[in-house]
A and B are shown apart, each in its own frame.
Chain A
């Protein structure tokens, strides 16, 4: 489309579970593929998404829609508290995703960085949680509220996950 400037999406990623890592990474990478500009501001547990060798999991706790370990049997939510249930839920989700041909979130992260999505780690929450810039994969910039707002002020779409 012939616009003055490209459309722009500004995303905040606050969560560090595997399922919640997908929406920001999918939307940002797809936006760039649609000739838009995209940035993701990673804060709080969202910082886990951009760590080197991250191993995000699916939480079965407080998640009644978590993957069922046996067929379609919906286990009582309290079972999610048992040791090992987080790993089981994660394995179930990964096997579903493999079957459907979904890219890993690590691959999408790489694609976001490679395609020029602005990836911003939140300095304040890094300090709170003892996270260093070296803990992140390459291609992450560090910033704060003003950095995000400066970008988001000129954006057409803003989302928080």
Chain B
């Protein structure tokens, strides 16, 4: 997957990952994918809600130990 931007939210917790992904979306073009890494376990539910509300798509997500990675495609 081609990633336009990597966003490191590790160590941050609610609401910062959501604020950061919003900012990152403003810095890429429609159709671009942003890779976001977070350690906040709450971000799994929060990212899903955020994507539903904003119309962006989480095309893939994975968990590696305590790190959650989301690939978000800008609408």
Q: Check: A68 CB closer than 8 A to any chain B CB.
A: no
Q: Are B11 and A35 in contact (CB under 8 A)?
A: no
Q: Are B19 and A34 in contact (CB under 8 A)?
A: no
Q: Check: A145 CB closer than 8 A to any chain B CB.
A: no
Q: Which residue of A2, A32, A103, A108 has the most chain B CB atoms within 10 A of its CB atom?
A: A103
Q: Are B18 and A33 in contact (CB under 8 A)?
A: yes
- Who on chain B is nearest to A26 by CB? B15
Q: Are B50 and A102 in contact (CB under 8 A)?
A: no
A103→B15 CA distance, assembly (Å): 8
Give residues of chain B (1-37) contacting chain A, Cβ–Cβ below 8 Å.
11-16, 18-19, 21-22
Q: Are B50 and A34 in contact (CB under 8 A)?
A: yes
Range of interface residues on A (Cβ < 8 Å): 10 to 19
Q: Are A101 and B11 in contact (CB under 8 A)?
A: yes
Q: Which of B13, B19, B40, B55 is within 8 Å of A33, CB to CB?
A: B19
Q: Check: B54 CB closer than 8 A to any chain A CB.
A: yes
Q: Check: A100 CB closer than 8 A to any chain B CB.
A: yes
Q: Check: A36 CB closer than 8 A to any chain B CB.
A: yes
Q: 1/0 per position for A1-42, CB-CB distance to B under 8 A? A: 110000100000000000000000010011011111000000
Q: 1/0 per position for A35-62, CB-CB distance to B under 8 A? A: 1100000000000000000000000000
A30→B43 CA distance, assembly (Å): 12
A32→B13 CA distance, assembly (Å): 17
Please report A residues at the B interface, Cβ cutoff 8 Å: 1-2, 7, 26, 29-30, 32-36, 100-103, 108, 111, 115
Q: List 28 A-B contacts (CB under 8 A).
A: A1-B53, A1-B54, A1-B55, A2-B55, A26-B14, A26-B15, A29-B19, A30-B14, A30-B15, A33-B15, A33-B18, A33-B19, A33-B50, A34-B18, A34-B49, A34-B53, A34-B54, A35-B54, A36-B53, A100-B13, A101-B11, A101-B13, A102-B13, A103-B12, A103-B16, A108-B15, A111-B19, A115-B19
Q: Which 8 A-B pairs have the closest CB atoms?
A: A33-B22, A30-B15, A34-B53, A33-B18, A101-B11, A26-B15, A101-B13, A35-B54
